[in-house]
Amino acid sequence: MYSAVRANQQYRQTQVMTTDPLQLLVMTYDYAIAGCRERNLEKVTAALKELRSALNHEEGGQLAADLLSLYLYMADQARRGHFDHVATLLQELRNTWSAVREQVLQPEPAPVEYAA
């Protein structure tokens, strides 16, 4: 059993070290959502803290400020035991960022050449 847990930890560590920033963001949302399902306040709080620390207020401007407010709201709701509500909000954000990632990773279409 111990070796399976250790192998899983090594796999996760390798996955985190080799993935792109948007996928790391999605993975953090997944962790927070799992914490909500487990009713694990520590897990939810840790994930929300990580999401807050990832905000770039200089480049993100109003969006970063709005996300900060939302993350603080969700942390408060989780402390009150409203895990289902927090999970719903997190799932919506996760889906949005996942869609953004898919758009960013799509290859540019080849230019169409027309015969003269």
Q: What is the mean pLDDT of residues 87-108?
A: 90
**Better-scored residue on pLDDT, 20 or 96:** 96
Residue 80, pLDDT above cutoff 80:
yes
- Domains of the chain by range and CATH? 18-101 (1.20.120.340)
Residue 11, pLDDT above cutoff 60:
no
pTM for this model (two decimals): 0.76
Output the CA torsion sign for 82, 84, 87, 89: negative
pLDDT for 10 equals 60
